[in-house]
A and B are shown apart, each in its own frame.
Chain A
């Protein structure tokens, strides 16, 4: 991802819910379609940061018996060819054990993690476990944060800084929120780390627009919606290809 950004291009990080249908094949298709890294969601029963699409995907995955262990096990045998990060919620990590979870990520070949409900104030035990094992904890910077707070976020962030594009939960929106470019601009002014915008980036056009400022995008609900509607890894790959093309 770093080399793509250094050469003036934009990074594309799609999200896929672990345990949803033929998700491992889908992750492979996403990689082949030009993703620079992939976020794999470990589904949680009470995902307060997620909108209806990822809620529904999580529900289906849980119904199919998905657990944090099953997602990590399957990832350990998958050969995706791009860096992987998991996105999940604090209780699943806490219950697994901060250290044990970080160990399990390493064993599964996962290099990064986003824990949606661990803000800076609660980050110490998890980040200590992750840092000790070289797992990169991606921190979120939100439009509500003061400059002083965002500066602390970028210092703590590893891998890239996840700029929250709008006030709200994950999900596509009709148009790109003004806050998307603004938060990217604020964060870019503070750090040399890559700044990727996520939440509310639903179309290739919106991705291209925000990339005028940002170093790249995270696209979640649009990808998961395609997976839910088609149940086809190829169709998901096609969508990711459209984002890739729009951003180049």
Chain B
């Protein structure tokens, strides 16, 4: 996965569709990130934080009981074991260091399930910065625990009341806020989406998990790479991170799993929203549709532009699973391996379960992008009749 072109495009996708007020900030951000990323001192400071603070490298866990049950060899990349409970910390620590290097004192972020928000609030606390987080009103209801965590960490959490009151609307509000505060605020976008340079920058910051997973897979599989690599896709940052470790090996199948109610690649057509041209769920005239998913983190009608490119080029296959399949996968991993997955990550497992026949005998690496603690309250209601 290489650099986008000078206009921030991966093939036909990407770009910088933002109000004029923000363009100078995006140009500056690209220059600053490029300089920082090439600066050994910056890299070593980030590596140090990832190791000493976030707990990297995250382990690779072979699932013996689950493998026996499904008939394929399943390995989990354990991003759930990172500090703050997901892969989001990788991106956030990098961008917060960049913000500090740029002399910014305030972080602005959007969040869906709250994992990025919690990670952003954590980084802000660590570096003594102010932090404002926008979250859809509906998501604040279903992810109450994460709202409290963000506030406990000192962040200001503001509800987005417009539209579907989920992640899409939180991004709108965060962008509006950034337009007003662009001189002292740093917009800490949480996924491989939005205007250039974010899709590229966030993928570079998530690359660490793909590189680790590649080395760990070689060790676990007698110097072989896994046959299939699976990750859930909302905006697509955990998928971009893990795919980056395998994309150059055509013998490895890459599968991105979207929620059936928010399958931008699966059901969308190219469109422009949130600063990027990418596959988008929209109506005939171009109004953006509301996604609908049990998982707040994937409840998004768009997808990062590099995923649209990887889909178009055929390198990655994008599939979808239903909420019902996700609930079963959530329970299955809990019961067979003692690992409660985030609902987002359970999408990947749900796809493996649904395709276990054709995966028979193969090695499958699943990016377990987050832990399910945040989803337990929501799942208590969903599973009330069964437990």
A-side residues, CB < 8 A to B, are 44-49, 51, 55, 59, 62, 67-69, 89-92, 94-96, 116-122, 139-146, 149, 153, 164, 167-169
Decide if B19 touches A116 in the complex (CB within 8 Å): yes
Residue of B nearest to A95 (CB): B286
Residue of B nearest to A164 (CB): B21
Residue of B nearest to A120 (CB): B23
Q: Which of A69, A95, A168 contacts B180 (CB 8 A)?
A: A168
Decide if B163 touches A46 in the complex (CB within 8 Å): yes
Decide if B21 touches A149 in the complex (CB within 8 Å): no
Decide if A144 touches B182 in the complex (CB within 8 Å): yes
Decide if B21 touches A92 in the complex (CB within 8 Å): no
Decide if A91 touches B179 in the complex (CB within 8 Å): no
Decide if B18 touches A119 in the complex (CB within 8 Å): yes
Decide if B24 touches A144 in the complex (CB within 8 Å): yes
Contact with A along B15-41 (1 / 0, CB 8 A): 111111111110000000000000000
B116 within 8 A of A: no
Decide if B17 touches A90 in the complex (CB within 8 Å): yes
Q: Using A91-B273, A121-B16 as known contacts, say yes or no to A144 and B288 having CB atoms under 8 A apart.
A: no
Which A residues touch B7, using CB under 8 A? 121-122
B181 within 8 A of A: yes
B368 within 8 A of A: no
Pairs A-B, 8 closest by C-beta atoms: A95-B286, A168-B180, A142-B21, A45-B287, A140-B20, A91-B272, A90-B272, A91-B286
B374 within 8 A of A: no
Name 18 A/B residue pairs within 8 A (Cβ), A-sorted. Answer: A44-B286, A45-B288, A49-B19, A91-B271, A91-B272, A95-B285, A95-B286, A119-B16, A119-B22, A121-B16, A122-B17, A140-B19, A144-B182, A146-B24, A149-B24, A153-B20, A167-B180, A167-B183
Q: Which of A46, A119, A143 contacts B288 (CB 8 A)?
A: A46
Q: Using A46-B273, A67-B285, A91-B273 as known contacts, say yes or no to A167 and B181 having CB atoms under 8 A apart.
A: yes
Residue of A nearest to B196 (CB): A121
Residue of B nearest to A169 (CB): B176
Residue of A nearest to B271 (CB): A91
Distance in angstroms between the alpha carbons of A158 and B305 in the assembled complex:
31
CB distance from A164 to the nearest CB of B (A): 6
Decide if B17 touches A118 in the complex (CB within 8 Å): yes
Distance in angstroms between the alpha carbons of A141 and B280 in the assembled complex:
29
Which A residues touch B182, using CB under 8 A? 144, 167
Total number of B residues with any Cβ neighbor in A under 8 Å: 36
Decide if A117 touches B272 in the complex (CB within 8 Å): yes
Interface-centre pick from A46, A120, A144 (highest chain B CB count, 10 A):
A46
Which B residues touch A139, using CB under 8 A? 20
Which B residues touch A122, using CB under 8 A? 7, 15-17
Which A residues touch B22, using CB under 8 A? 119, 144
Distance in angstroms between the alpha carbons of A153 and B19 in the assembled complex:
13
Decide if A69 touches B179 in the complex (CB within 8 Å): no
Q: Which of B15, B181, B282 contacts A91 (CB 8 A)?
A: B282
Decide if A91 touches B24 in the complex (CB within 8 Å): no
Decide if A145 touches B272 in the complex (CB within 8 Å): no
Interface-centre pick from A122, A146, A169 (highest chain B CB count, 10 A):
A122
Distance in angstroms between the alpha carbons of A59 and B172 in the assembled complex:
14
Which A residues touch B277, using CB under 8 A? 94
B-side residues, CB < 8 A to A, are 7, 15-25, 162-163, 168, 172, 175-176, 179-183, 271-275, 277, 280, 282, 284-288
Decide if B179 touches A49 in the complex (CB within 8 Å): yes
Distance in angstroms between the alpha carbons of A181 and B176 in the assembled complex:
22
CB distance from A56 to the nearest CB of B (A): 9
Distance in angstroms between the alpha carbons of A117 and B277 in the assembled complex:
12
Which A residues touch B287, using CB under 8 A? 44-45, 62, 92
Residue of B nearest to A166 (CB): B180
Decide if B20 touches A119 in the complex (CB within 8 Å): yes
Which B residues touch A141, using CB under 8 A? 20
Which B residues touch A89, using CB under 8 A? 272
Decide if B272 touches A119 in the complex (CB within 8 Å): no
Decide if A168 touches B15 in the complex (CB within 8 Å): no
Decide if B286 touches A94 in the complex (CB within 8 Å): yes
Residue of B nearest to A92 (CB): B286
Residue of B nearest to A149 (CB): B24
Q: Which of A62, A68, A117, A121 contacts B19 (CB 8 A)?
A: A117
Distance in angstroms between the alpha carbons of A169 and B176 in the assembled complex:
6
Distance in angstroms between the alpha carbons of A117 and B171 in the assembled complex:
15
Residue of B nearest to A42 (CB): B285
Decide if A119 touches B19 in the complex (CB within 8 Å): yes
Q: Which of A48, A59, A149, A153 contacts B176 (CB 8 A)?
A: A48
CB distance from A118 to the nearest CB of B (A): 6
Distance in angstroms between the alpha carbons of A51 and B7 in the assembled complex:
28
Decide if B176 touches A94 in the complex (CB within 8 Å): no
Distance in angstroms between the alpha carbons of A143 and B7 in the assembled complex:
23
Which B residues touch A164, using CB under 8 A? 19-21
Residue of B nearest to A94 (CB): B272
Distance in angstroms between the alpha carbons of A160 and B271 in the assembled complex:
28
Q: Which of B15, B19, B181 contacts A48 (CB 8 A)?
A: B19
Interface-centre pick from B15, B168, B285 (highest chain A CB count, 10 A):
B285
Distance in angstroms between the alpha carbons of A149 and B295 in the assembled complex:
42
Which B residues touch A96, using CB under 8 A? 285-286
Which B residues touch A49, using CB under 8 A? 19, 176, 179
Q: Using A46-B172, A96-B286, A122-B15 as known contacts, say yes or no to A167 and B20 having CB atoms under 8 A apart.
A: no
Extra 18 A-B pairs, beta carbons < 8 Å, given A48-B179, A117-B17, A168-B180: A45-B288, A46-B274, A46-B288, A48-B18, A49-B19, A91-B286, A92-B285, A94-B272, A96-B286, A116-B19, A120-B23, A139-B20, A142-B21, A142-B23, A144-B25, A149-B24, A167-B180, A169-B179
